[in-house]
Structures are given as structure tokens and as C-alpha cells.
Structure 1
Amino acid sequence: MNFIQRLKEKYPWFKYVGNRYVFVFLFFAVWMLFLDNYSYLEHRVLNEELDELETNKEYYQDEIKKDCLDIKRLNNPDQIEKYAREKYYMKRDSEDIYIIEFEEDILPKEEENNKSL
């Protein structure tokens, strides 16, 4: 007991931390913030994943809207021909198609493959 009294005299803040209620509260706070399965740190990780998933959800919903518009436009035969010409480089019998690629459009892997040859 003498040791605890000397600590309280030497460190005035120790009498507050040495109180059993404060000690139990600090233990509980540390447990809940760091050690528990539902700790604050775990919640931060889960919230980041949730934000990422919500961003992905918005992206895919926008893509679905774009695809629905494309489907509605492709009901017209003229639009189907235009889409086939642009996307799949299809042509009529009397036409020639020339595809022009710029160096900026080449992917980095393709550049490495070209250098190794």
C-alpha cells in the first residue's frame, strides 16, 4: 500500500487512473477500439470496402443505362449497320477499309513485344 501512496504523491494523475472505475473504463475502451471482432479498425476497413462497392454499383448502373440506350437504337436496321461498321469493321462488297493506328493508342505490352522482336 505504501508503494501506491508514493506513486500517487509523485504522479498526481495516477490517482485518477488508479481508480478502479477509470481502469475498467479504459480497459473496455481499448478492448472495443482495438481487440474486439467489431472494433473501430475493422469498421474502417469494412466502410472502405462498402464505399468501393457503392462506387462499382453506380458505375455498373450507368453502364446498364448506356447499354439499354444502345439496344433501343439498334432496333433500327440503319443503326445496326452503322454499329457493325464502327465496332466490327464490317464493309460492303464494293468498299475498302483502312485502319489507322497511332503510336499513342498502342498498349505498353504491345510496345515491349515489338521491341523484343
Structure 2
Amino acid sequence: MQRLLDLFKNKYFLISTIFIVWLVFFDRNDLLSQYEYRQQLNKLKEEHEFYTKETAKVQQELSELTSNKEKLEKFAREKYLMKKPNEDVFVIVTEKKQEKKSIFSR
């Protein structure tokens, strides 16, 4: 017990302990902040991978559209509802079913 009291009376031990507690809990870059930064970094890496893949896919579609007239015509018809002269276009829109909730249902 005396050794423990001597340890707490030691100014170097006290200063070191206070310094470590300060760094772990109260500093601007404490452990909780580092954990949150790591999560944010992982999320940003995932987003970067996603957008890199999407960019590659769009670049491939663009090269196909600029090199192939048939693909360009198909794209224009599907996305912008363009048509040839003397041709009719019918657009079919599907509606989503919505559940009607009543406050009186049992």
C-alpha cells in the first residue's frame, strides 16, 4: 500500500498520467474523434470506388454511342422519346401501389 502511495506522490507519474488522460479523452484528436475520422475515411473510399466504376461505365457507353449509329438511335429513342417521321410513340408508365393506412384499421 505504501508503494502505491509513493507512486501517486511521484510528480513524474502524476504528470505522465494527466498527460495521457488529456491525450486520450480531451485533446482535439482524441480516440473518439480518430474513430469517427476512420469511419468517414472508409465511407469516402467506398464512394470513390463507386464513382470510379460509374465513370468507367459512362465512358464506355459514350464511346459506344459515338462509334455506333444504331446504339445512338436506340439511346435517343429510349431516353429522349425521339421518333422517326410518320411514327407513333406510346409511353407506358407503371404506377406504384400505395398502401392506404387507416387510423381505424384493426
Equivalence for 2:92: 100
**How far off its partner does 1:30 sit?**
1.3
User: In the alignment, is residue 57 of structure 1 matched against residue 48 of structure 2?
Assistant: yes
Match of 1:80 among 72, 75, 83: 72
Residue correspondences, number: 96
Instruction: State the AA in 2 paired with 1:18.
Output: F
1:17-51 residue CA offsets vs partner (Å, 9 max, x unmatched): 72535433331221111111222122112112211
* Unmatched segments (≥5 aa) in structure 1: 1-7, 106-117
Structure 1 residue ranges, 4+ long, deviating more than 4 angstroms after superposition: none
* Unmatched segments (≥5 aa) in structure 2: 98-106
Instruction: State the AA in 2 paired with 1:49.
Output: Q
Match of 1:25 among 16, 21, 46: 16
Distance 1:25 1:97, change over 3 A: same
Q: Distance in 2 between matches of 1:39 and 1:16?
A: 30
Deviates more, 1:17-26 or 1:81-90: 17-26
Q: TM-score, normalised by structure 2?
A: 0.74
Distance 1:87 1:17, change over 3 A: farther
Q: Distance in 1 between matches of 2:44 and 2:15?
A: 38
Q: Distance in 2 between matches of 1:46 and 1:58?
A: 18
1:63-88 residue CA offsets vs partner (Å, 9 max, x unmatched): 11101110121121111101101111
